[in-house]
Amino acid sequence: MLKSPHLEKSDIDHFQECGFVALKNGFSPADAKAIQDWATELAARPEAPGAHWVYHEESQLETGVQLINRIENMTPYHAGLAELADVLIPGVGQLLGEDAVLFKDKINFKMPGGDGFEPHQDSQAGWEAYADYFINVMVCIDAATLENGCLQLARRDGTELVGREWEPLSEAQTAAMNFEPYPTDPGDVIYFDSYAPHMSAPNSSPNIRRLYFATYNKKSEGDHLASYYVDKRQSYPPDIERQAGKSYVYRV
Ligand SMILES: O=C(O)CCC(=O)C(=O)O
Ligand SMILES: [Fe+2]
């Protein structure tokens, strides 16, 4: 059984001021190893329609080479990863000041040659159709460094969308933001809300960089996981479920 990370008052204060807080060793080394093994095991499973969702990307280093980019919608298919999404709920509840419910979960793989992420706020990805406010919990699976593209965060001024929906933040919008890299080790945890601007660089190292992200909203705003995935299956299905000849574009 995984042990839930606990936030101190100073962590909660930091989160409220900046929109994010980083927690060293949120999970013990043994728990971090279990999470790492689950991620490896899930990625080794065959891809099938109706199972966990796997997305690929083309390597930035070798034309034509496909890499696993992301696995999403894991809780129905993996007991360990379902437990992980569950044990993060109390910490999110501490930050929300009320009960939290899971909205979505994923692992971003960022293999060597995997691409980075443009600066964005997660609420730009159409989430506001489901609830007003979300908290992401990042759990570090592999050491994330400057070279392999660790998460970079900027403090936010208020809880509002700076950017437009479905577009990364523009240069004008990020000009006054100060993105700082947050290198992490396995078991470290970062909480950030759906307005906290963030980005990450491509993986130009020989080392894989897997980061787990679970997203929660206030229980009082409803349980939207099922409808979110029904909608996303229409607009951006996993690679194995795609129709030939149809084009699907990753936007934010
Ligand atoms: O994996 C990362 O570096 C950031 C991912 C991210 O921002 C996202 O998936 O929305
Ligand atoms: Fe994001």
User: pLDDT tens for residues 68-109?
Assistant: 999 999 999 999 999 999 999 999 999 999 999 999 999 999
Q: Is there a domain that residue 198 lies in?
A: yes
CA 87 vs. chain centroid, Å, equals 16
CATH code at 121? 2.60.120.620
pLDDT band at 211 (very low <50, low <70, confident <90, very high): very high
| Residue with token string 């930091």 | 14
**Interval between CA 168 and ligand 1 midpoint (Å):** 12
Q: What is the mean pLDDT of residues 126-130?
A: 94
Phi (first) and psi of residue 18, to 5 degrees: -105, -20
Q: Is there a domain that residue 196 lies in?
A: yes
Q: What is the mean pLDDT of residues 7-22?
A: 98
**Interval between CA 35 and ligand 2 midpoint (Å):** 21
Q: Is the CB of 31 under 6 A from ligand 1?
A: no
Q: Is there a domain that residue 1 lies in?
A: no
How far is the C-alpha of 32 from the C-alpha of 126, rounded, in Å?
Answer: 31
Q: Is there a domain that residue 246 lies in?
A: no
The CA–CA distances, whole Å, from 166 to 65, 147, 187, 193, 252 equal: 27, 28, 31, 17, 6
Q: Is there a domain that residue 251 lies in?
A: no
Q: Is there a domain that residue 192 lies in?
A: yes
- pTM of whole model > 0.85? yes
**Interval between CA 251 and ligand 1 midpoint (Å):** 12
CB 52 within 8 A of CB 45: yes
Number of domains present in the structure of the chain: 1
CB 210 within 8 A of CB 141: yes
Q: Is the CB of 107 under 6 A from ligand 1?
A: no
Q: Is there a domain that residue 178 lies in?
A: yes
| Residue with token string 């029904």 | 230
Q: Is there a domain that residue 184 lies in?
A: yes
Give the residue numbers spanning the domain of 69: 9-236
